[in-house]
Structure 1
Amino acid sequence: MSDRTTILLVHGAWHGAWCWGPVRERLEAKGWDVVAIDLPTVHAADKAELGMADDAAAVAEAIASIEGGVTVVAHSYGGVPTTQGALDPSVHHIVYIAAFALDEGETLLASVGGVEPDWWHIEGPLATAGDESHPPRELFFGDLDPAQAAWASAQLASQSARAFREPLTRVAWRDTPSTYVITEQDAIFPVVAQEALAARSGSEAHRLATSHSPFLSQPDAVVDIIERAARV
């Protein structure tokens, strides 16, 4: 359809393309072309050796493989490699969902205060999220029903810690329109920080009364926002 871009979905830290399932199903049912990628710092066999630049290269490669215009949707950490990698002129719009829309020279680690939060667990080159004191269902999935939250928590994987320490060298939101979805019941990403990133990036802000994972808890609302951004 000439008035529609292809939608590229980029997951956050410890997640995978699986997390977009409800959103992808709804978009495809409405006739949208959708691509969801697995970032290499979470899913590659050699992920311990990789960093944010490798994820950014994966985003750029996915964009280059799509014919026509692209709308990139990025969640949380996924906003970092998207900001670095979504520089192709074919990118029509970026939708940041509770995402780190950082600036040149910034890192995710510095943006959270320069010290790993106590729910990050660094073991050598890899990081995992959550423990008995900080269950993933409370960190990421607080507004899902228990069964859905347990399923999603079981899908989380380790990630290269290097990805959180590599600085951005390029910034896509300077030249590309963007939307920012603020998650108002987020247990790990303060609303005031999301508001500041949305304002600095010049994004059109939307607010959802959800946890850090609205693509699972309120997929219809997320689809509505993506559709508005993705139309040419």
Structure 2
Amino acid sequence: MSTFVLIHGAWHGAWCWDGVAPLLERSGHEVVRFDLPGHGEDRTPAAEVTLEGYTDRVVEALDALSGPGVLVGHSLSGTVISQAAERRPEKIGKLVYLCALLLPGGKSAIEASQEDGDSVVLQSAEVDEDRGRIILSEEGMRKALYHDCPEEDFERARRLITPQPLAPLATPVEVTEGSFGSVRRTYVRTTQDRAVSPAAQEKMYTELPCEKVVSMATGHLPFFAAPGELAGHLDSLAKL
């Protein structure tokens, strides 16, 4: 069995895995999850949060494992797991990009999002430059992220969502073929996604090929829309 390290995406926290983690554990896997700096219960001020700080938190978790883990990154955290793979390729058995940003070196998340003409998430976000963060409106949450999720998940998210720090979005990833490129990678594509569009996802995993791509007919939050199906895909990808 595998050890999964589950990394949440923008605005969210470790709480978004509440429906999936028990299913993976029931299948015999170990699960590690935590809040990135500035998210969930971590109170790091948004203006102090960086992509490097995100990566440090993931590397710390990887270093605590007895062997290589399966590193899953959702959405924005595709950049984080790529950076972690650059720093600790030997600690990762497989990377799983969950409707995530799989970017080449030199490209930032904000660049990728601005190129995605079918994404509606930035249209619903308000930039608070003075405090170094982006705030997503409730209307934007529902339209871009929660349109196919159970109402109770949306209501809970309204209480738990935190502003997204700006710096990690604007920082280009720095990856090399020798380190990041040496780690096996897979992709979970979401075909009803309004945040990272299906076309943008396909472009990314075509330009940086993955050994396996699986599709889910959900929006951007499959851990809420179809937790059982997602857990099944993760279990299968870990066994490749």
Do the structures match in fold with TM over 0.5? yes
The residue aligned with 2:174 is 169
Aligned residues of 1:186 and 1:212 also touching (Cα < 8 A): yes
Q: Partners of 2:72 and 2:182 in 1: how far apart?
A: 16
The residue aligned with 1:188 is 195
Q: Partners of 1:218 and 1:225 in 2: how far apart?
A: 11
| 3-state SS of paired residue (1:169) | coil
The residue aligned with 1:60 is 59
How many residue pairs end up in the alignment? 227
- Residue 7 of structure 2 is aligned to residue 10 of structure 1: yes
Q: Partners of 1:153 and 1:94 in 2: how far apart?
A: 30
Deviations 1:191-228 (A, max 9, x none): 11001111222111111100100011111111111112
| Amino acid corresponding to residue 9 of structure 2 in structure 1 | G
The residue aligned with 1:221 is 229
Gaps of 5+ in 1: none
Spell out the pairing of 1:33-72 with structure 2 (5 A cutoff): 33-42=30-39, 43-72=42-71
Deviations 1:148-193 (A, max 9, x none): 2222233210121111101111256511111111111112221110
Check 1:183–1:114 CA distance in 2 against 1; reply closer, same or farther (3 A cut).
Answer: closer
Per-residue deviation at 1:105?
0.9
Q: Partners of 1:225 and 1:44 in 2: how far apart?
A: 33
Q: Partners of 1:16 and 1:169 in 2: how far apart?
A: 24
Deviations 1:98-138 (A, max 9, x none): 10011111100111127992222111211112344x3x122
The residue aligned with 1:202 is 209
Q: Partners of 2:34 and 2:103 in 1: how far apart?
A: 21
The residue aligned with 1:145 is 150
| Amino acid corresponding to residue 64 of structure 1 in structure 2 | D
Range with bigger deviation, 65-74 or 116-125:
116-125
Aligned residues of 1:11 and 1:38 also touching (Cα < 8 A): yes
Q: Partners of 1:160 and 1:140 in 2: how far apart?
A: 18
The residue aligned with 1:83 is 82
Q: In structure 2, which of residues 139, 164, 167 is the aligned counterpart of residue 159 of structure 1?
A: 164
Per-residue deviation at 1:61?
1.1
| Amino acid corresponding to residue 100 of structure 1 in structure 2 | L
| Amino acid corresponding to residue 112 of structure 1 in structure 2 | S
| Amino acid corresponding to residue 170 of structure 2 in structure 1 | R
Q: Partners of 2:111 and 2:92 in 1: how far apart?
A: 27
Check 1:199–1:41 CA distance in 2 against 1; reply closer, same or farther (3 A cut).
Answer: farther
Aligned residues of 2:38 and 2:44 also touching (Cα < 8 A): no
Q: Partners of 2:53 and 2:25 in 1: how far apart?
A: 28
| Amino acid corresponding to residue 40 of structure 1 in structure 2 | P
Q: Partners of 1:110 and 1:229 in 2: how far apart?
A: 29
Q: In structure 1, which of residues 102, 121, 126 is the aligned counterpart of residue 133 of structure 2?
A: 126
Q: Partners of 1:131 and 1:46 in 2: how far apart?
A: 22
Aligned residues of 1:137 and 1:153 also touching (Cα < 8 A): no
Alignment RMSD (CA, Å): 1.9
Q: Partners of 2:115 and 2:52 in 1: how far apart?
A: 19
Aligned residues of 2:55 and 2:80 also touching (Cα < 8 A): yes
Range with bigger deviation, 172-181 or 87-96:
172-181
Q: Partners of 1:169 and 1:148 in 2: how far apart?
A: 35
- Residue 20 of structure 2 is aligned to residue 23 of structure 1: yes
| 3-state SS of paired residue (1:152) | helix
